[in-house]
Structure 1
Amino acid sequence: MPHIITEPCIGVKDKSCVDVCPVECIYEAEDQLYIHPDECIDCGACVPACPVSAIYPEEDVPSEWASYIQKNYDLAGV
């Protein structure tokens, strides 16, 4: 399961997570960063690097941000 970037990233786009991603699967969209689900190796390196705690394993995304699962997939084009 890939990791998902959720609402706290909107407008922030700090990119600390990009720097630690070993497979470079985090991309920039208009208002947030997103993780390409087919490229993510589920290593979790991005989670502690996020300064706004916006990244979760897909199965652990809080219910209030569940719509970001599909948003990440849509941004990735899958």
Structure 2
Amino acid sequence: MTYVIAAPCVDVLDKACVDECPVDCIYTGQRMLYIHPDECVDCGACEPVCPVEAVYYEDDLPGRWEGYRAANAEVFHSLGSPGAAGTTPPFTTDHPIVSAPRP
């Protein structure tokens, strides 16, 4: 299992979770942050520090944000596993669920 960043992060990009992550697995997109599911060690350090409550343990992700589970994984399909978010520049695009206009 892993942690997932959901809709409340879109256009906020508060990086308190990045500062807490001991394995540097939270990457920056243009409009939100993403947790690499293969790099996350499920420590939970990111969840309580998120000021907008956008971070969820995968099993606790609210149904209305289910698409963000796939978004956090799919954004890495072409990138692979860089191994360190801090040395990876922000993504030039976001997952389609994030780049779509908000209602």
Deviation track 1:29-49 (CA, whole Å, cap 9, x = no partner) reads 121000000000000000011
Distance 1:51 1:32 in 2: 14
Q: Percent identity?
A: 53
TM-score (normalised: structure 1):
0.96
Deviation track 1:20-66 (CA, whole Å, cap 9, x = no partner) reads 00000000012100000000000000001100000001111000000
User: Larger % of helix: which?
Assistant: 1
After the TM superposition, which parts of structure 1 deviate over 2 Å for at least 4 consecutive aligned residues? none
- Gap runs ≥5 in structure 1: none
- Corresponding residue pairs, total: 78
Which structure would you say has the larger Rg? 2
**Higher relative contact order (Cα pairs below 8 Å, separated by 6+ residues):** 1
- Gap runs ≥5 in structure 2: 81-103
Q: Secondary structure at the match of 2:34?
A: strand
